[in-house]
Amino acid sequence: MEKRYMQTAQSWLDEAYDQATRSEVIKMINGNQKELEDAFYKNLEFGTGGLRGVVGAGTNRVNRYTIGMATQGLSNYILKCFPGKKMPAVAISYDSRHYSREFAEITASVFSANGIKVYLFGELRPTPQLSFAVRHLGCVAGVMITASHNPKEYNGYKVYWEDGAQIISPHDQNIIDEVTAVGDPSNVKFKRDDNLVVTLGKEIDNSYLESLLTLSLSPEAISAFHDIPVVYTPLHGTGLKMVPEILRRAGFTNVSSVSEQQEINGDFPTVSSPNPEDPAALKMAMDLAVQKGASLVLATDPDADRIGVAVRGPGGNLMLLNGNQTATLLTYYLLQRFLETGRIKKGVRNGGHYMVKTIVTTDLLGVIAEDYGVEMYNVLTGFKYIAAIVSANEGKRYFIGGGEESFGFNAGEYVRDKDAVLSALLVCEAAAWAASQGKYLYDLLTDIYLKFGYFKERLISVTKKGVDGVARIQEIMRAIREKPFLSLAGSDTVLVHDYMRGETIDLVSDLRYRINLPSSDVMQFVSSDNSMISVRPSGTEPKIKYYLAVRTRVNSKEELKKADTELDSKLDRLAGQVLAL
């Protein structure tokens, strides 16, 4: 291993690499061997979020050369896939991270050098808008330069196909093969053809926003409660460009922004991490909401595909919703409004409509959808799998909406990824709709729990960095396959889902069932009381993730507090089981 990564590092001292890169490599060779190993022990791979890593020199880093080779490989693949297309086109956007604009320009240069037309956003724009642009402009692919919600040291390269969705099999592996075949930067065509690069401006902004506004379901409620106080923060990212504008166009007139976090800055100076899943990231917004008397707080990550939401809870205090709760509210709101507007009917099977969630997202979404007679698909983790269902059903059935526990949601078919811009609009109009009934959003959540059951979840992420970390994660996954949990917090395990083997084992009947999903390194355990543990390595970070889920029935608001304490205790016991691995 040491010999291989040292040889690779030495190859980066060739004159094919610029002086700054060579100097950085020399510094690592003469300095921290662990850092050198991590930078060169492997090539960056396309995972659930595409190419993503720390910015710097190395094959396992994001830099002009790994970006260039990825784009050359993608160009080669595009030209193979569309041999009869006279001028295939791609769209490129980027976020506020360090070097995002530079990497976008390099990407545009390589595409154009390969005879591929490029639509390049003139300014940073959200990931969902890139997805929209791919379809709207008739592109064969798209690239978004972003590391989503990762820390400031990261950047990345999300690849989209002609359906506007992130790549899935077989394209992902085929692109990896093409990138690998590039070999080194000497085989990358970096010389730009300016005649093939078109700069996108306000026209695409208007098309995107106007399309999303057609998905609004409660214009009367917005008109009546247009002045509900809302606080929004873009966390120094692309949401600044679109979220306030769509809320303004929808009719909301009392939206305040956190001025310090409106600055486009890849250092994300006001937060330790620009992740709306992190309560600390919303502190400034929640403080401003207290000053303004706002009942709703919204936050988007740097590329504006994930949304964080805080609402007024019991006693009037602001509380941050988790991703499952936000998805629950939006699922209920969409289905109820579809019912009220006559798009679906209660008591029948609404086969023309459907929703989608991921296997680690709360089962409460499926319970709600079933009550409305709407099918809920369950797919692997990653919004690209939700998008694949939408593409497969295009022209046959209508996608109402769907989401995942990691703060991602979408509705309608204009965008084939999670969309925090649209989600912000839907959350605000759901709040207006609730206000028309004399309620806050938390009251709606309480109504849902009383009707469908109290579901509670917890996510535990354990970081395992470097080569040793990868080996340890693989060891944990192997161990739970060989010796699965036979009980969950004292309740007997009845089902074991092994998504890598594509098999469900019923421990009660000892029968086995086929899982009709692509192979994925995920294990899931379900107990007799419907408690659940799901385990998977992250596809974008050096982490292993444990998803814990429990549920119970409640008959009154007074029972919620007691039920919450009991479910927390059960989650603590499940956490003890997984952390003992």
Catalytic residues: 148
Q: How many CA atoms lie within 13 A of 354 on its CB side?
A: 20
Ordered DSSP codes for 418-470? --HHHHHHHHHHHHHHHHTTT--HHHHHHHHHHHH-EEEEEEEEEE--HHHHH
Output the six-digit token pair for 408: 């991602």
Q: Are 79 and 90 in contact (CB under 8 A)?
A: no
Output the six-digit token pair for 107: 């990407």
**Mapping DSSP to helix (H, G, I), strand (E, B) and coil, where does residue 362 land?**
coil
**Mapping DSSP to helix (H, G, I), strand (E, B) and coil, where does residue 360 land?**
coil
CA–CA distance, 173 with 54 (Å, rounded to integer): 22
Reported as type and span, the H/E element at residue 156 is strand 154-161
**Could you tell me which residues are beta bridge partners of residue 353?**
398
Q: How many CA atoms lie within 13 A of 460 on its CB side?
A: 18
End-to-end CA distance of the chain: 27
Of the candidates 507, 512, 537, the residue with the CA atom closest to the CA atom of residue 522: 537
**Could you tell me which residues are beta bridge partners of residue 401?**
355, 411
Task: Enumerate the H helices of 504-556 as residue ranges.
Answer: none
Q: Which contacts of 14-19 are long-range, i.e. CB under 8 A and separated by 24 or more positions?
A: 16/184, 16/185, 16/186, 17/57, 17/65, 17/185, 18/64
**Mapping DSSP to helix (H, G, I), strand (E, B) and coil, where does residue 356 land?**
strand
> Rounded to 5 degrees, what are φ and ψ at 120?
-105, 125
Cβ burial of 391 (10 Å; 0-12, 13-18, 19+) is: middle
For residue 477, what are the contacts with CB-CB under 8 A and spacing of at least 6? 521, 523, 535, 537, 544
CA–CA distance, 545 with 373 (Å, rounded to integer): 32
CA–CA distance, 341 with 428 (Å, rounded to integer): 19
